[in-house]
Chains A and B, each alone.
Chain A
Amino acid sequence: MSQTTIPSDSASIPVDARPPWYQGKLVRAFLRSPLTILAVIVLVLYLLAGIAPDLIAPHKVFDLSTLDFSNAFLPPAWVEGGSMRFPLGTDDQGRDLLSAIIYGLQVSLMVGVVSVLLSLVIGTVLGLLAGYFGGWLDALIMRIADIQLTFPAILVAVLVDGLARAVLGSGLHEQLAIWVIVAAIALPGWVQYARTIRGLTMVVRGHNYVLAARLMRQPTSFILRRHILPNVATPIFVLATIQIAVAIVIEATLSFIGLGVPPTEPSLGTLIRIGNNYMLSGEWWLAIFPGLALFFLVMAINLIGDFLRDVLNPQL
Chain B
Amino acid sequence: MKSNTRKFLTSTLLAAGLAASPLLSGDAMAKTLRIGAQADAGTMDPQAQNIMTTITLLSMIYDSLVSRDGEMQPQPRLATSWEQVEPTRWRFVLREGVTFHDGADFTAEDVAFTIERAQQPTSQFLSMAAGLKTEIVDDYTIDIITPERDIFLPSRMISLAIMDKDWAEANGSLAPQNLGEGEESFSALNANGTGPYKLISRVPDSKTVLEATGEYWGEMAGDIDTVEFYPLSNDPTRVAALLSNEVDLLIDVPAQDVARLEAAPGIKTEMVDEYRTLFIGFDHASDTLKYGDAGGKNPFKDPKVRQAISHAIDRQAIKRTVMRGLANPTTQMLAPKNVGYVEELDTLIPYDREKAKELLAEAGYPDGFSVTFDCPNNRYINDEQVCRTLVTMLAQIGIEADLNAMPRAQYFPKLWERDTSMFLMGINSPFADGIYNLEKYTMTRNDETGDGIYNYTQSDYPELNARVEDARRTEDEAERVKKIEDLYRYLTEEQFYVGLYNQVLVYAMQENVSAPVRPDNWLEIRWVTMDE
Q: What residues make up the interface of A, taking CB atoms closer than 8 Å to B? A: 64-65, 67, 69-70, 72-73, 92-94, 170-171, 174, 258, 262-264, 274, 276-283
Contacts and interface: CB of A to CB of B under 8 A. Distances in A.
State the main secondary structure of chain A at its contact with B. Answer: loop
Contacts of B452: none
A42 B256 CA distance: 35
The 7 closest A-B pairs by CB, nearest first: A64-B395, A281-B256, A69-B317, A72-B321, A279-B236, A65-B396, A64-B392
Contacts of B120: none
Contact of B385 (A92, A171, A258, A279): A92
Nearest to A66: B396
A232 to B, nearest CB: 45
A189 to B, nearest CB: 28
28 contacts: A64-B391, A64-B395, A64-B396, A65-B398, A67-B392, A69-B314, A69-B393, A72-B317, A72-B320, A72-B321, A92-B321, A92-B389, A93-B321, A94-B321, A170-B372, A171-B372, A174-B372, A258-B377, A262-B403, A263-B384, A264-B391, A264-B403, A276-B236, A277-B385, A280-B236, A280-B260, A281-B259, A282-B259
A69 B321 contact: yes
A286 to B, nearest CB: 10
B266 to A, nearest CB: 15
A201 B306 CA distance: 66
Given A73-B321, A281-B260, A170 B389 contact: no
B196 interface: no
Contacts, number: 75
A311 B81 CA distance: 88
B392 A174 contact: no
Given A69-B314, A92-B321, A262-B403, A280 B392 contact: no
A41 B419 CA distance: 51
A39 B402 CA distance: 38
B532 to A, nearest CB: 28
Given A171-B372, A263-B388, A264-B402, A277 B254 contact: yes
Contacts of B396: 64-65, 67
Q: Looking at chain B, what size class is its interface with the partner chain?
A: 20 to 34
Interface string B364-402: 000000001000010000001100110111011010001
Contacts of B391: 64, 264
Given A263-B388, A280-B257, A92 B291 contact: no
Nearest to B256: A281
B389 A93 contact: yes
A54 B403 CA distance: 24
A264 B402 CA distance: 8
Contacts of A73: 321
A72 to B, nearest CB: 4
Interface string B248-259: 000000101101
Contact of B404 (A70, A93, A174): A174
Contacts of B274: none
Nearest to B238: A280
Contact of A280 (B240, B322, B372, B377): B240
B405 interface: yes
B419 to A, nearest CB: 10
A280 B389 contact: no
Contacts of B372: 170-171, 174
A78 to B, nearest CB: 22
Interface in B244-273: 254, 256-257, 259-260
Given A92-B389, A170-B404, A277-B254, 18 more contacts: A64-B396, A65-B395, A69-B320, A69-B321, A69-B389, A72-B317, A72-B320, A73-B321, A93-B388, A170-B406, A263-B403, A263-B405, A264-B391, A276-B234, A277-B235, A280-B240, A281-B260, A282-B259
A288 to B, nearest CB: 13
Nearest to B382: A277
B162 interface: no
